[in-house]
Structure formats: structure tokens, C-alpha cells
A and B are shown apart, each in its own frame.
Chain A
Amino acid sequence: MLNTGGVYSVKQKMVLYFPSTVTEQPFTYYLIKDYNLMVNILKAHINPRKEGRAVVELSGEKKDFLAGLDFLQSRGVKIFPLEQEIVWVEERCTHCGACSVICPAGALVLERPDMTVKFLNEKCIVCEHCIKACPSRAMEARY
């Protein structure tokens, strides 16, 4: 939570699950218009049974944020905490080593004298710095 001059603003990522009965409702529209929230859809998927799953980032003032979540739940949307992980797509990695000075957690290391890069998942703090820093886009966030 950020304290912006007395008004608490919130920014949070979460997973939303939409039962098939509600997938056609324009939730984004309501969240923006009625609750003043910024909605960033990071990922969305509707399965053949018409159930939807989306990873979104909501941000706004704390009272709007909480009211927005209440609204979603009242309409049957289920909210889950986001479990995110960073994956290293080895086939895309060129072992250039550019990420090794970007990763703050020592999770991407250039091994010497081989000069190959290793991803140590257990050290990763999911800061996402590597995602855009990797020229080959070999680092991906998965939810």
C-alpha cells in the first residue's frame, strides 16, 4: 500500500474466476466507472464451458478498491490470491548473460568458466526485472 498524501491507494494483482452465468457481464466497465479503479488485465481466458479466469491488477483508493471487490463477489465472481512464478524458457535463452547483473536476488547466474546461465528458481523473489531486461524474452511470468 502506498500512502499518497493521506489517501491510501492500493495496487494489487489477483486471480478472478467468473462462473459461466456471469461471463458476459462488463465487469471492467463497472469497476472503472462506478468504483474509480484502474483495471489492468494481465491474462484472461474463457473455457469452452464459458467459465472465465483472469489475472488482473486493480488499483485505486482503498475504499474504492474494497467496494469494488465486494461488488465482484456480490455478482458471483470468486477472487483468489495470485500465485505467480517466473519461468526460464531455456530454448529461448542464448546464454548471453545480460540478466546476471539485473537480477537482484542472485537467481540468474552466469557460471564460469562455462559462461552458461543458470536460473535458480528457489532464489527468485518474482520481482520481474528480468522479464523486460532479457533481450531474447526467455523469462516469463506464469500464473
Chain B
Amino acid sequence: MVKKTYEEINAKIRAGEAVVVTAEEVISMVREKGIEETAATVDVVTTATFGPMCSSGVFFNLGHTKPRMKMSRVFLNGVEAYAGLAAVDAYLGATQIPETDVANKAFPGEFNYGGGHVIEELVEGKEVLLEALAYGTDCYPRKKLEKMIRLEDIPQAILFNPRNGYQNYNVAVNLSDRTLYTYMGILKPGMGNANYSTSGQLSPLFNDPYYRTIGMGTKIFLGGGVGYVSWYGTQHHPDVSRGENGVPVSPAGTLAVMGDLKQMSSRWLRGVSFLGYGVSLMVGIGIPIPVLDEEMLKFTAVSDEEIFAPIVDYSESYPQGVGEPLGQVSYAQLKSGEITIGDRVVPTAPLSSYFGSRQIAVILKEWIKNGEFLLTKPVFTLPVSSEKVDFKGLA
């Protein structure tokens, strides 16, 4: 029986002796040497994902002005940040669009710019126009501010994403006879394509399906820098059906993550535009999984053939919240470029970048191997049952 503690693994990392592999590499190792031997050798498995994650944004403290100001409306390059917080605090959401955007009035809207793009530009070091309005008080008399700012000029910028890293997601198809413009991309009529969006065998929560090692305080790769899992994400819904390997067969667990934006990189935080839908932010996340025992290693060795996603119609079933999935399909099939639904062969396309995910898993592996990145034991792990997590819908 292999048993390792966080402390033992960290001691090996500090000594530069830890054996670290990616969630892709561990699959072939297990095929060659078996679970037991691989578990004895490998200390950490790195997982990653790089895809559009709409529930993302940044908390800013913009710094006090002279005279002082209690900002009630804040705009960054014309994109509004929520300012119903203390004087110069604001939260910019990734999907916010400028008030001047005609959105879907000219259907399908292009959504060329929004919160996600502002975040990317700030991280890139670009200047951004800050406009703020206030009603003025005795203690905060100033009513208007216009100023070019850079990320380095702002006291604090904290990336805080309430829902990232979904454990599994739908495969979107379109049964209707018109093109659909969705957050799952452009869906051609009559099942012209099937779009999916997770990194499969590399994706963090597929490799720790029961959240044995991931929870509040888990140190992660976030947007090119270091971040932490800060809570379970919104819509965290672990009580779904799972395969024998424990992997959910529909959307399940989620993560809330946070980190200092100033040490992140625009390579791994990218503003994106979805035709007819809106803007979002592509977020790069990497999570190290400690091989505490054989079971943990077995979880990380899960491969695309053993992970299944539901095929969902986005013309009727998803928007109306009715009906059942059209079937299940494995990530191996999805990644092959086509799937068969009934008697139809449908081309597939990903929305998240598998290539980028693989790069993140490798970067995180190097950080750990070089002793720069130690693992943290979570304060508590993500809930495995919804008993204490409400997952109600509105009528």
C-alpha cells in the first residue's frame, strides 16, 4: 500500500526530488507499469484547463483621489464595473459589455469588446481609461474622474472567479433549421456540428472526481500566476450520476478561484467574443494533485475513453430547460473530430484549448519540479454531496 502525506510530498519538492507528471503522461505510465508501481513512483500529477469561463472577474481598489471620492459608477474603457462597494472598490465582470454596444439588436451581435478584454489589456500592461461618477458627500466631495490607468498604478486587483473549471459539460448541437449563436459557439442547423468545452483527461475535476484533494486553500496555477481555490463554485452540483470510475456524466462540481491579478499573464487570461452571445474570458487553470495513495493515482489515470458527456440540443431542450440529452459520448470520440448521433456523423469542435491546457500542465509540472511551487492541504475539501449545497432553480 502506498501512502504519502502532503508534508512528505512537499519535502521531496523542496529537495528537488519530487516525481511530477501531467495527467496525460500518467495514463501511459499506468498502462505500462500498473497502478501500484506508478503510485509508488509519482508524487504529483498536474491537471489543467484553458477555456472560456464567463463567471470570472476582478475586484479592484482603484486608489483614493484628491479630493476624495466615493465612486458610485465606474467604467473601464467604457465597460461598467459594479461599484456598490466601499469608496474606490469595484468589481469588473468578464461578460460586461459597453453601454454603447448594440448587442443583439443587430443580430447576431459581434461583441468585439467587454470586461474580458479590459482584463486582458490591463494584465498586458496597457493603459485603460478609468471614468468614475459620484453623488458627492461631505467626506467624499469629488463627483467626477477621468484618468488613464495601468494595472501597476492600482493598489489592488484581485481576480475572483465565482465559477470556473466545470467538472464536465454539455456537448451542444442544434436540431432546428436555423443557425444558433450560443455560448457554446455557432451551432449549424440540422446538427451541422457538435461543440464541446472541457479538456477531458487533463481537466482538474475529472482527475479528482470526489474532490479528495481539492478545496478551500488549494494552491493552483491561475492565469499564468499563482492562485487559490477559495470555495466551491456557484452551481456546484456533485449529486449527479457518475460512471464506475466516479466521473460524473453531466455537469457537476465547480470551483471558485482567486489570485493577485498583477502577477498573471495575458497569455492565460484572454478576452473572447462569441458571435450573437457576448464576451467572456478564457482562463488558464492548473491544479496539482498529490498522489496520496493508489486510489488517488487511479483517479488521475482516467483517460478520454472513460469520460462521457451528454449531447444536448440547444435549439429547444437547453433554452427551455426541457427534455433529455440525445445521448452520451466519450471525450475520445469528441476529440477524434466526429461523433455519431443516431445514424448521423457530426463534426465536432472544442471551445476550450486542449493545446493550451497541455502547456499549463507542463508549466505547473516544471514549477513543482524546480521546487518553486509547494502543495497546500485544503482547509476543507469541496462538498461531495449537495446536502449542504442548495441547487434550486427559479420557476
Which residues of A line the B interface, CB within 8 A?
94-102, 110, 112, 114-116, 132-133, 135-137
Contacts and interface: CB of A to CB of B under 8 A. Distances in A.
Contacts of B272: 135-136
A95 B349 contact: no
* A contacts with B: majority SS: loop
Nearest to B347: A101
Given A94-B356, A98-B195, A116-B355, A135 B112 contact: no
Given A97-B350, A98-B350, A135-B351, 9 more contacts: A94-B353, A96-B356, A101-B347, A101-B348, A102-B186, A110-B337, A132-B275, A135-B272, A135-B280
B349 A98 contact: yes
A67 to B, nearest CB: 30
A136 B113 CA distance: 11
Contact of B351 (A98, A112, A115, A137): A98
B111 to A, nearest CB: 9
Interface string B179-201: 00000011010001101000000
B110 A132 contact: yes
Contacts of B349: 97-102, 110
Interface residues of B, number: 32
The 4 closest A-B CB pairs, nearest first, are A135-B272, A115-B354, A95-B355, A101-B193
Q: Which of A115, A116, A133, A135 has the most CB of B within 10 A?
A: A135
Contacts of A98: 185-186, 195, 349-351
A97 B51 CA distance: 11
A91 to B, nearest CB: 9
B270 A136 contact: yes
Contacts of A114: 355
Given A94-B50, A95-B355, A112 B335 contact: yes
Contacts of B274: 135
Contacts, number: 73
A115 B275 contact: no
B112 A96 contact: no
Contacts of A95: 353-356
Given A98-B185, A110-B337, A112-B336, A133 B275 contact: yes
18 contacts: A95-B354, A97-B349, A98-B350, A100-B347, A100-B349, A101-B192, A101-B347, A101-B349, A110-B337, A115-B335, A115-B350, A115-B354, A132-B273, A132-B275, A133-B185, A135-B351, A136-B282, A137-B112
Contacts of A102: 186, 349
A96 B144 CA distance: 41
B204 interface: no
Nearest to B185: A98
Contacts of A97: 349-351, 353-354
A56 B354 CA distance: 39
B335 A94 contact: no
A137 B274 CA distance: 10
Contacts of B351: 96-98, 135
A136 B273 CA distance: 7
